[in-house]
Chains A and B, each alone.
Chain A
Amino acid sequence: MKKLQTVLLLLLSISIISGCTDKEKFIVYGSPQNEEELKAVLKEEDYVEKTTVIQHDDKMLVTVQIKPWDKWKKAKLEKKLQKKFDELYPDKEVFVSADYKIYYEANKVKKDGLEDEEISDKIKELKKLAKEEA
């Protein structure tokens, strides 16, 4: 029983700690001119938990993490968001993904501080990866 108690205590403390160190949930990286606008657009959607947008030139990669219970409709929500962005930015090449891997990579782009052409290349690469099946 002692062991069980320690494990429970550990789990509890981990959850508290992780709850306190909440990082920024809405990130836009690349060209900063429309940052606030983008954040506002994404915050409208209440199923979005976290998001990272990376952009360069006319290319934009919107990666989102959907709230747990809404994940059932992940594919649909992804499509809905894609449509919304296509309508909002008809002159841009937008790609929306709700995949964790793409989100993770987008954050890495920011962390690694990639610039300009590198971002474009990365977006292209990630788009290809996201479309892979099986």
Chain B
Amino acid sequence: MEKEQYQQLEQQVTPKPPYLKNIVKAFFVGGIICTIGQAVSLFYMTFFNFTEQTAGNPTVATMVFFAMILTGLGLYKKIGQFGGAGSAVPVTGFGNAVISAAIEHKSEGYVLGVGGNLFKLAGSVVLFGVVSAFFVALIKYILVTLGVVSW
């Protein structure tokens, strides 16, 4: 059997990823995580002196804390398998990436293991997040200067 022929066979046999099902699942899992985040945010506004502006920071920290507990208990990977992007895109997914790497590399010590590998997965999120933020800001700055939009 030739390569091309085999690749055809492979295409036939391999099931197509259930995109629609995955999207619906991701929508609900992501929605639930964000609803919890909103509740945490409201909690900080109701019981502490945080405004909508400033409640973001403690909310993110709390959500990462929840992600940490779920990761440590081995539950986040189950949520991830079910929810896909729904659990990977919110900040809890970022927390999971950092924390799972920390747990994994603890065996190599705190400096070379945990320290060196903490951002193994999340590193590119940080890098490209900063880079894309820079470009978005640059484009907006140009548009504002040209008078197309206002800040």
A residues whose Cβ falls under 8 Å from a Cβ of B = 99-102, 104, 129-130, 132-134
Q: Does B53 contact A (CB under 8 A)?
A: yes
Partner of A133 from the list B45, B53, B55 (CB cut-off 8 Å) is: B53
B residues whose Cβ falls under 8 Å from a Cβ of A = 42, 45-46, 49-55, 57
- Residue ID in chain A nearest B50 by CB atoms: A101
A29 to B117, CA, bound (A): 56
* Interface secondary structure of A, over-half rule: helix
Best-buried of A101, A104, A129 by chain B (most CB within 10 Å): A101
Please state if A102 and B51 are interface contacts (CB–CB under 8 Å). Answer: yes
Please state if B45 and A132 are interface contacts (CB–CB under 8 Å). Answer: no
In the assembled complex, which residues on chain B have CB atoms less than 8 Å from the CB atom of A133?
Answer: 53-54
Please state if B57 and A99 are interface contacts (CB–CB under 8 Å). Answer: no
Q: Tell me how far the C-beta of B51 lies from the nearest C-beta in chain A, rounded to whole angstroms.
A: 4
A82 to B49, CA, bound (A): 23
Please state if A101 and B52 are interface contacts (CB–CB under 8 Å). Answer: yes
A118 to B84, CA, bound (A): 52
In the assembled complex, which residues on chain B have CB atoms less than 8 Å from the CB atom of A101?
Answer: 45, 49-52, 55
Best-buried of B42, B51, B54 by chain A (most CB within 10 Å): B51
Q: Could you write out 6 A-B pairs with CB less than 8 Å apart?
A: A101-B45, A102-B51, A104-B46, A132-B51, A133-B53, A134-B53
